[in-house]
Amino acid sequence: MSIAVVVGTRPEIIKMAPVVKELEKRGVEFIFIHSGQHYDYEMSQVFMEELGLPRPHESFKLDNSNPASQMGEMMIKLEKVLEKYRRPRVMLIQGDTNTMLAAGLTALKLGTRIGHVEAGLRSFDWRMPEEHNRRMIDHVSHYLFAPTDIAKKNLLEEHVWGEIFVTGNTVIDAVDIYFDKIREVEDKVLSQVKFKEYVLVTFHRAENVDDPHVLRDFVRILGRSPLPVVYPIHPRTRKRLQEYGLWSQVEEIPHIQIIPPQGYFEFLALMKNCRVIMTDSGGLQEEATHPKIRKPVLVLRTSTERPEAVIYGFARVVGINPVVVLAELEKILNESLKLPEQSPFGDGKAAIRIVDIVVSRLET
């Protein structure tokens, strides 16, 4: 088979699902490889079934959590798989995790062309491990599938040597594909929410939750929010709150509802029905712009690799200073927002464009 599709984490699975489905629709043969991160391997298997994706041809669990060890383990295991399938001509990878960088480097050393889905994102924040990873992946990729013109500009300014294509972001495709699933779970999800109106919060990035001062400011924001908060808490954040002695303060906030991490459909249902999103996530900044969701986002970071969301009025980068964040939250709640009808991240046809390009290159 000439194409390998590699996924590892849940965001990668979501964003590659439209590409996998498009390959299946056209009858294009491919190897589907799941290089699971150690902490969500079993969950990812169930998750792929929920998304209607085929069972991976090859799947393995990464036991190491140390970044360097994890990358080494990934490269060793993936090399064996690619050799087994006689070195596919193209490998498609998505995003900027350690395992995707490892996959790209393995492909490079084996002479397999690399297609990077979601190329060209830049936060210009070197505290983020993802910023290192995506830059390196882009500079070894043969086909760079930039979601927007801004991402293309970043790639041109860095003089990458691969071919650049503006395709849109497959996350918009994914929301289109699975929107009926959101409707199916919506009533059940909302019946479990205590509040009619709420701020939806996520907060999990290492540069935020591993800093006790930042985490303390985050708790202050939660405690002073003028609107009730629904917070699907990440295990990493819960652990840090407990380690830093902040967990009891969170539990005492009367207007907060802590819930477990949600499934993809359930979380989109919460997004669709909230007033505002406060997050340090990158993907949420994209999903919030989908025409059927269209929610304002306060980005709890000092930078974003999705400036399009800011330019189009969906997102505001507010950092983590409680005074600034709460002022912006009040402003949004009191404004009459008119968000654009269209997403700056594409029209839901990114996967079609990506598969068109890959298939055409295989024919040459």
Q: At what angle do helices 170-191 and 350-362 cross, to 10 degrees?
A: 140
Residue 158 DSSP code: T
Q: Six-digit token pair at 175?
A: 């929301």
Q: Which residues contact 81 (CB under 8 A, 6 or more apart)?
A: 31, 33, 58, 60
Res. 164: pLDDT tops 90: yes
What pLDDT, on the 0 to 100 scale, is given for residue 65? 78
pLDDT at residue 125, as a whole number: 87
* Residue 55 in domain: yes
The residue type found at 20 is: V
Predicted confidence band at 62 (pLDDT cuts at 50, 70, 90)?
Answer: confident
Return mean pLDDT, the chain.
Answer: 94
Same domain membership, residue 73 and residue 23: yes
Q: What percentage of residues in the chain have a pLDDT greater than 70?
A: 98
Question: Quick one: 163 and 182 in the same domain?
Answer: no
CATH number at residue 259: 3.40.50.2000
Is residue 341 one of the residues assigned to a domain?
no
Answer yes or no: do 46 and 113 share one domain: yes
Residue 298 contacts residue 318 (beta carbons within 8 Å): yes
Can you tell me whether residue 201 is helix, strand or coil? strand
Most confident among 11-15, 68-72, 347-351 (mean pLDDT):
347-351
Range of the domain at 132: 3-168+349-362
Q: Is residue 247 part of a domain?
A: yes
Active-site residue flag, 139: no
Asked, for residue 211, whether it belongs to a domain, the answer is yes
Give the number of other CB atoms < 10 A from CB of residue 80: 11
Length of the chain: 364
Same domain, 153 and 9: yes
The pLDDT value recorded for residue 264 is: 92
pLDDT of residue 46: 75
Instruction: Give the largest CA-CA distance in the chain.
Output: 63
Sheet strand arrangement including 297-299: 256-259, 229-232, 199-201, 276-279, 297-299, 315-317
Q: Are residues 210 and 162 in the same domain?
A: no
Looking at the structure, tell me whether residues 213 and 107 fall in a common domain.
Answer: no
pLDDT digits (tens, 9 = 90+) for 78-136: 999 999 999 999 999 999 999 899 999 999 999 999 999 999 999 998 888 889 999 99
**What pLDDT does residue 60 have?**
85
Residue 229 CA to residue 221 CA, distance in Å, equals: 10
Distance CA 259, CA 245 (A): 20
pTM of structure: 0.94
Question: Average pLDDT of 232-250?
Answer: 94
Domain count, the chain: 2
Radius of gyration of the chain (CA): 20
Residues 185 and 316 in one domain: yes
Catalytic site residue from 204, 213, 234, 255: 204
Q: Residues with Cβ < 8 Å from 213, sequence gap 6 or more?
A: none
- pLDDT tens digit sequence for 276-306: 999 999 999 999 999 999 999 999 999 999 9
Mean pLDDT value of segment 263-287:
96
Whether residue 228 sits in one domain with residue 105:
no
Asked if residue 340 belongs to a domain, the reply is: no
Residues 293 and 236 in one domain: yes
- Residue type, position 69, single letter: S
Confidence of residue 336 (pLDDT cuts 50, 70, 90): confident
- Residue 342 within any structural domain of the chain: no
Nearest to 67 by CA among 102, 35, 33: 102
pLDDT at 43 over 80: no
Tokens of 274: 């909230």
Residues 157 and 206 in one domain: no
Could you please report the per-residue DSSP string of 240-262? Answer: HHHHTT-HHHHHT-TTEEEEPPP
Residue 291 falls inside a structural domain: yes
Residues 354/167, Cβ–Cβ less than 8 Å: yes
Residue 100: per-residue pLDDT: 94
Asked if the model's pLDDT at residue 74 lies above 60, the reply is yes
In this structure, the answer to whether residues 141 and 235 fall within a common structural domain is no
What integer is the mean pLDDT of 258-287?
95
In a domain, 344, yes or no: no
Check the CA dihedral 338-339-341-344 and report its sign.
positive
Same domain, 153 and 258: no
| pLDDT of 189 above 90 | yes
Contact 138, 160 (CB under 8 A): yes
Distance (Å) of CA 105 to CA 15, 30, 97, 141, 256 = 21, 20, 13, 9, 44
Alpha helix positions (H), the chain = 10-26, 41-50, 67-84, 98-110, 129-140, 149-157, 170-191, 206-209, 212-224, 235-243, 247-251, 264-273, 283-287, 307-311, 322-334, 350-362
Q: Is the dihedral of CA 190, 193, 196, 197 positive or negative?
A: negative
